Each structure stands twice: as C-alpha cells, then as structure tokens.
Structure 1
Amino acid sequence: MTEGLRSRLIGAWKLVSYREIPVDGAEPFEPLGHEPQGIIMHTPDGYMSAQLSRPERPGFASGDWFDGTTEEYTAEATSYIAYSGPFHVDEEKQTLTHSMFVSLFPNWTGQTQPRVVRIEGGMLHLSTASPIRSSGRTVNSALTWRRAEPN
C-alpha cells in the first residue's frame, strides 16, 4: 500500500526556492531573493508552521524588538513571511489546505488557503491554488522545499 499524502507531509522541510509568477505574463520574480531561507513543518497532530526569510536581514540598532525605527520595521516586515495553524489533507483529491491561526500578514489571519501539492522523493512542491496579490501584482506563488535532515 502506498503511503498517504498526509503522512508524507509530516516533518520539517527547508526552503529551496520561492518564485512569484505574474498572471499577466510578466517575468517571474523572487520576493525574498535568490537564496531564501525557511522552514515549513507539518506535525502529526495536524498543525503546520511556515517561516520564510530573506537572508542576511539587518538587525535593529536598539537591540529591542519592540523599539525599532519605522525603517527597521518596514525592512523586517517586507523580508519575512510567517503563518501557523491547522492543516488538512483530502487523500482522495490529493489536496492540502493551510488554515492561518496566526500570521505576520494580518489579512491572512483566520483564512484557509488551498495549496497545490506534489512530493517527489525528498522534495515538496507547494503553490497557490489561485492567484494572490504580491508586490503590487497578481501572481501565483511556487515554492520548493527539501526534506530537512533529522537533528
């Protein structure tokens, strides 16, 4: 018997690439740079967490996360994506949804978003099931993750 999609998702995955593909045919772009960092985890009890970051983010001069300048907060928020919550798999349809219990982007809090999912060997390919707004454009997001080695 083949292992189900849900059981194959369980664990931690490290981000390999993150591309936005504009629906108007414009050139794809990498909102977090060419070598983004990130981890997505799916737990056996049905929760997930995704953290994505531009590498080499500058620190706050104050050293205090509640005492940054407007420029520091802008740089912080535009170089990081984070959300967590329950996930659901429909084994028959081979679909995945992420529910955002918390999100750095407040507009996503409380949303459930479908993902197109494909697992090939140790690689997880996730993309948005319908277009989203990103950097002022309507795009489809495409992310590739590599299964993280156990610690």
Structure 2
Amino acid sequence: MITRTQLVGAWSLESYTETDVQSGEVSYPMGRHPEGLILYTFDGYMSAQLGSGRRDRFKGQDPYGASSEEYTAAGRSYIAYSGPFYFDESNGRLEHEMFVSFFPNWQGQRQVRIAAIDDDRLHLGPDRPMPFNGRLKTASLIWKRALPNS
C-alpha cells in the first residue's frame, strides 16, 4: 500500500504503453521516449501533461494561428488534464477528477487509477480498458520521481 505522502510531488514520465484487450498487442502512443510530468500537491490537486518526445513545432509563433494540420499533429501527440485528486489510503484507491482537460470529453469526469510505488517509480494505469485509437486498451504509465528543482 502507498500513502498520500508518498504520492505527493513531481514525477517525470518514463514510459507509456497501451495493450490492446483483444489482440494483446503492445503499442507506444507517445513513442518510446515520451515526455511529461504528473504533479500531486499537498492540498489535493494534480496535473498530468504528457506528450511525444518528438513533436513538430508550428511554423509561426502564434499559438492560435497554426494550420489545421499542425493542430491535428499537436493534438495526436499530447494529453493534458488537471483537477482535484482523491486518495483513499485504506484501499489504495486513487481518483483523478478532470476540472480541465485537453480532451473535452474527460472534463468533469472522475477516473480511477491503479497506483503502486516501487522505490522512486510510480506505476499508474486506469482501472479498466479505455478506447484509444478505435480499440479498447489498457494503459500503463511509469513515472520516476523528479529531482528537486533548485
């Protein structure tokens, strides 16, 4: 069992895999070297930002002035959401509530995560398969505790 205190802090994304429920095929939706941070605060908030380690930059400097193709590529290589988190130490149940989300359909949802900590690694995944790229898949994310920023 993990404790809330162990969970609090900053974690850097080390790996993100998805396993197709029907075929068992493992894929790397953000590539083999994804980038990201997940943060848990003492006052009960969290933020997850993850993306492909190789994202193309927009041609211009205006974040609202990109082409449809640029927005599509950026959207397919990034996941982000933030909001309150709830952790019940007695049963290890972790829930992320999406106050804001890059994927609008998640906004307002509460999703359960299976969580385990092994030394300085946080293992997270949803409690059930979810639709990704048109198939039901289970996701597995491994986060490494981030070094203090000094």
Q: TM-score range by the shorter chain?
A: over 0.9
Give the equivalent residue in structure 2 for 1:37: 35
Q: 1:148 aligns with which of 135, 146, 149?
A: 146
Letter in 2 for 1:129: D
Give how far 1:63 is off. Answer: 1.4
Give the equivalent residue in structure 2 for 1:19: 17
4+ long deviations beyond 2 Å: none
TM normalised by structure 1 equals 0.96
Does 2:119 align with 1:121?
yes
Letter in 1 for 2:97: S
Give the equivalent residue in structure 2 for 1:137: 135
Give how far 1:39 is off. Answer: 0.3
Other structure's SS at 1:143 match: strand
Any idea what the Cα deviations from partners look like across 1:10-32, whole Å, max 9, x if unmatched? 00000000000111033110100
Other structure's SS at 1:75 match: helix
Letter in 1 for 2:7: L
Comparing 56-65 with 111-120, which one deviates more in the overlay? 56-65
Letter in 2 for 1:85: G
Once residues 117 and 26 of structure 1 are traced to their aligned partners in structure 2, the CA distance between those partners, rounded to angstroms, is 22
Q: Which runs of 5+ in 2 are unaligned?
A: none
Once residues 55 and 89 of structure 1 are traced to their aligned partners in structure 2, the CA distance between those partners, rounded to angstroms, is 30
Any idea what the Cα deviations from partners look like across 1:72-98, whole Å, max 9, x if unmatched? 000110000000000000111111000
Aligned length: 149
Give how far 1:61 is off. Answer: 1.0
Give the equivalent residue in structure 1 for 2:79: 81
Comparing 52-61 with 98-107, which one deviates more in the overlay? 52-61
RMSD (Å) for aligned C-alpha atoms: 1.1
Once residues 58 and 48 of structure 2 are traced to their aligned partners in structure 1, the CA distance between those partners, rounded to angstroms, is 23
Once residues 56 and 23 of structure 1 are traced to their aligned partners in structure 2, the CA distance between those partners, rounded to angstroms, is 27
Identity level (%): 48
Once residues 63 and 26 of structure 1 are traced to their aligned partners in structure 2, the CA distance between those partners, rounded to angstroms, is 41
TM normalised by structure 2 equals 0.96
